[in-house]
Structure 1
Amino acid sequence: MMKKIIILSIALFSISAISCNKFLDEKPSSFYTSDNYYKSYQQAQNAVNGIYTFTRDFYAAVGLYEEDAMLMLENPTGQAKSDINQSNNNANLRNLTMQTTDLYFNVWWRSSYKGIDAANLAIQNIPLIPASVVTDVQKNQLLGQARFLRAWFYFNLVRIYGDVPLVTEPTTSAAGLQIPRTATKDVYEKLIVPDLLAAEQSGLPFSDQTGRVAIGAVKSLLAKVYETMAGFPLQQKDKLPLAKQEALDVINSGKYTLYQNYDQFRDAANDNKMENIFMVQFAPGIAGNPMFSFTLPSFSYISNGQQEIGTLLPEDTFFASYSASDKRKQEKQFFYSHYPNFSTGVDVQFKNGEHIYKFWDDVAQASGQGSGKCFPIIRLSDIMLLYAEAQNEADGMPDANSYNYINAIRARANLTPLAGLSEDQFRQAVWRERNHELCFENITWFDMVRTRMVYDTKNDAFVPMVGYTLPGNNTAKFQTKHYLFPIPQAEIDANPKLTQNPGY
């Protein structure tokens, strides 16, 4: 039998997989084979730790200095603009003129499949370790993490590209990568849902403040998966009660709490705690989070030598769509329009108006070093709003829990409580709250494609996505093809069994 080469993600990168609590600090420098690896619990843990590495690729700087793969899911929402316009990749997204060769499409595709391959290796090899070396309890918990991460990578892939190749075994040769696309429905039903159901029974703790996957994250992702399956393109409405129940399990667990204020959102001390259910892990000096630099106003000189890039800021009509009484709209909550010069203390008024304060990092601003703030993937507020939406859709009217959850989030924003709404009124209230609360967290785009509705910020209304013209750009109008992004041309060139999405 051909010896299988274990290409660990921890061996492919010069930095190790790490977390805000530094639970991943291995730096192996060579490749391993199935004959000399998976011989101890530490090696098995290292293999799973390595899978986490790839979650950072989507939130790390790539290409030119103003480029980050997460921008792929923000620029085309109509809610983002930039101080600078030096990147064709960003401009194509804001203009809806995406090309099959654009950088971000390659990053999301390749890093997802690298993570999947690392997960496949762990899932195949960990069960083979003798129980005298790694107990069944330990194996199940390691496999639970690997299955969650594999499901998360595939969940992103099907929402971004639609039908994608379904790879469930470790890759041993280039020929193993030349497989056709699998129907989206089958990817959900054959891998994503089964992986998460298995992870749900893996014996992991309900919460984990080190940044590792826990049952709360598994149930939250499963709720998001069911909610998405209930929407477009599958429209499996029978998944709504399942989404509602998984979300309710997380909310009622008592393991997660809403931030009392937005300062707590920005405080790195709260990473992997309180409202954060699952985050992408960063740490200063090891793997920095570029979001602070990307959201600093361009050349504003308000930080201690940070790159002030200004590649992501709120589009004017999106900022204006917040109620005047909404605390998130107030200075230094989610946004800010001025700040003292770092050296002189003179107040600097930003030339392009409001910028994003959501990812502000006091430590990085003062030190000039990279931000170690972890990036939120799933927050309790997301799951509370998801429950409210799923329950309202499933039952035809909002229940007391749904009102309680949305009103708790509104109360934090100093907004009046909702009551007495019809099904459609409540639906749009939840959508509006998701847009305002979860902005710039790579959630809005996925909400748009699963509902096929977009927030018309000029008119404070939700309208069909197709035919909608992005604010500030009269030529950028959504077409049916924009429900999906293009398959990277490099992947089609390398795999003749792949086909391109329609319209690209």
Structure 2
Amino acid sequence: MRQSIYRLLFAFQAAAVTLSFTACNDLLEPTPAQQLPDDKAITDAGSARSATIGAYDRVQAYYQLNWPVLGFLPGENVRFNGTLNQFLQIDQNQLSADNVLITEAWTQMYQAVNAANNVIAGVPGVNDPLLPVAEKNQLLGEAYFLRALVFFDLGRGWGGVPLVLTPTRTKENGKGVGRSTLAQTYDQVLADLTQAETLLPDGTTRNRAVKSTARALRARLHLYRQQWADAETYATQVISTSNYRLATPYRTFSTAPFLSQESVFELTFSNSDANTMWNNWFPSALGGQFNFQPVPAAIALLNDPAVGGSRSALLATTVIAGANVTYGNLYSRSAQRDDPSYVLRLAEQYLIRSEARAKLGKLPEAIADLNAVRSRAGVGPTTATTADQLLLAIENERRVEFAFEADRWFDLVRTGRAGTVLGVTDQKRWLFPVPFNDLVADPDLQQNPGY
């Protein structure tokens, strides 16, 4: 998925945090390195296609390490096994505005927004017989979907953020935009998803957006906004599509050649475009660094036949110095280095619909959706009978189902349960800090309270 076109638009000026943590003490500052004239960047079918792939590449960059870490490490399933302060801050829910991972994630995400903005701005003006209208609409739909995904992630991480909707070609372009509210940010996500759904084709592609991809993200958006009827409607549209089904057994959704029928959207890697996330999970005896370790409570849940069922496959064990050591096994392709980044899965759509139906008082239907996920994992039906019991059961199911994905922290924040479950009672800490460098560069950008 690596393409050169967007390396011409933006480049990192400082060293980045690498997957092997060799440069974790450097701060990132995005600086335009070279610029293409506005009328030259996207001019024909080839450059339009390359620019769209470049937008996926930018999203891939923040989903490779930083976003999953920000989703699972502040929760209670995983601990950081090291001394690097920027990771310890995340693990201990004590972030600072100069945290390297926060800075890099924010930078990468706005680079992804800019890549999508360039496609949205440039593709409509392309007049090339090799780019038919249907394909032009598809490329635009993909760009709108990707921008929606990034703004959604920015919103759930930072709250309201600057809504940059046009290409940024100089340092000055993005200044003075100011922060929108979270409601306005989510409104923009909805507008982009609505446009994407109109433009995208139906299809079975799982590593590029189609109509169902936009609908799945929209179901998640409505869940976060507590718009229960809409969340149920859009999750149902995805679940009802014959292109998707829950993978059985559980582990097959993350087994090569990937792109299983459970996958609604994942980001693809290859040996030449590597995902080395496995390196952070594997013990040193297996060539890894063991930076992220499942905590004993999570290991017990996953290994409990009545709770984890076949999801125990997310764990593996090796012997080190005569003792069994358990490690996370979601990312396991150490030789091929082609584990995908998982963004949208059908199991989530079932649990979104289950939660929405529980909130709407449709308890039998909500129980059926929850049990569909449990049954796939070889776990018996839920014993929950009341709405409150069912909502807690869904929360616990999500903890196990998405144990090492970018999910747990954001779930507990959106439901207001981060204080009760994690002890993070200061709600100002439920949002990430805006990077210090960006505050210095743009006086109109405001910090989140508490930082």
Do they superpose with TM above 0.5? yes
Give yes or no for contact 2:148–2:192 (8 Å, CA) kept in 1: yes
- 1:244–1:387 CA contact under 8 A, matched in 2: yes
Corresponding residue to 1:295 among 253, 272, 281: 281
Are the counterparts in 1 of residues 62 and 109 from structure 2 also a CA contact under 8 Å?
A: no
Q: Report the CA distance between 1:112 and its aligned residue.
A: 0.9
* Partner residue, 1:254: 242
CA contact (8 A) 2:302 2:311 kept: no
CA distance in 2, matches of 1:121, 1:356: 38
1:414 CA displacement: 2.2
The 5-angstrom pairing of residues 74-473 of structure 1 reads: 74-82=72-80, 84-130=81-127, 132-179=129-176, 180-189=178-187, 191-209=188-206, 211-230=207-226, 239-269=227-257, 271-284=258-271, 286-297=272-283, 299=284, 301-302=285-286, 306=287, 308-322=288-302, 324-326=304-306, 328=308, 333-338=313-318, 349-350=323-324, 353-361=325-333, 364=334, 369=335, 371-393=337-359, 395-400=360-365, 402-418=366-382, 421-454=385-418, 464=420, 468-469=422-423
**In 2, Cα distance between equivalents of 1:60 and 1:141:** 25
CA distance in 1, matches of 2:311, 2:374: 18
Deviation at 1:38, TM superposition (A): 2.7
- Contact conserved, 1:165 with 1:182, CA < 8 A, in 2? yes
CA distance in 2, matches of 1:144, 1:242: 21
Per-residue deviation at 1:156? 0.7
Question: In 1, Cα distance between the equivalents of 2:336 and 2:103?
Answer: 25
Q: Call closer, same or farther: CA 1:123–1:331 in 2, change over 3 Å.
A: closer
Determine the C-alpha separation between the residues in 2 that align with 1:199 and 1:100.
Answer: 34
Larger Rg computed on CA atoms: 1
Paired residue secondary structure (1:76): coil
CA distance in 2 between counterparts of 1:412 and 1:81 reads 28
Query: How many aligned positions are there?
Result: 426
CA shift for structure 1 position 60: 3.7
Answer whether contact 1:204 1:214 (CA < 8 A) is retained. Answer: yes
CA deviations 1:227-272 (Å, max 9, x no partner) are 1111xxxxxxxx2111111100000011111111134133121x22
Tell me, what secondary structure is at the counterpart of 1:151? Answer: helix
Aligned-residue offset at 1:202 = 1.0
Q: Over aligned residue pairs, what C-alpha RMSD do you find?
A: 2.4
Distance 2:312 2:386 in 1: 34
What CA deviation, in whole Å up to 9, does each residue of 1:127-179 have, x standing for no partner? 11227453222211111000000011100111111121111111132222212
Matched, 1:57 2:61: yes
How far residue 329 of structure 1 moved from its aligned partner, in angstroms, is 6.1
The alpha-carbon distance between structure 1 residues 46 and 330, as it changes in their structure 2 partners (threshold 3 A), is: closer
- Residues 403 and 419 of structure 1 are in contact (CA less than 8 Å); yes or no, is this contact kept in structure 2? no
| Distance (Å, rounded) in 2 between the aligned partners of 1:354 and 1:493 | 43
Q: CA–CA distance in 2 between the matches of 1:272 and 1:246?
A: 22
Partners of 2:200 and 2:269 in 1: CA distance: 26
Match of 1:313, SS state, is strand
TM-score of the superposition, structure 1-length normalised?
0.79
Kindly tell me: are residues 38 and 59 of structure 1, through their superposed partners in 2, closer, same or farther at Cα, counting changes over 3 Å? closer
Which residue identity lines up with residue 208 of structure 2 in the other structure? R
Whole-angstrom distance in 1 between the partners of 2:77 and 2:254 = 21
Report the AA paired with residue 426 of structure 1. L
Q: Report what 1:21 is aligned to.
A: none
Contact 1:335/1:355 (CA < 8 Å) preserved in 2? yes
Identity %: 24
Residues 6-85 of structure 1 correspond to what in structure 2 (within 5 A)?
A: 8-11=5-8, 12=10, 32-60=36-64, 68=66, 70-82=68-80, 84-85=81-82
By how many angstroms is 1:59 displaced? 3.8
- CA displacement at 1:420 relative to structure 2: 6.5
Deviation at 1:58, TM superposition (A): 2.2
Give the match for residue 26 of structure 1.
none
2:448 matched to 1:492? no
- Are the structure 2 counterparts of residues 45 and 182 from structure 1 closer, same or farther at C-alpha, using a change threshold of 3 Å? same
Taking the aligned partners of 1:220 and 1:110, their CA distance within structure 2 comes to 26
Q: Report the residue type matching 1:222 in the other structure.
A: R
Q: TM-score, with normalisation over the residues of structure 2?
A: 0.88
Distance in 2 between residues matched to 1:274 and 1:349, nearest whole Å: 38
Q: Which amino acid aligns with 1:275?
A: E
Report if the CA contact (8 A) 2:303-2:312 is conserved: no
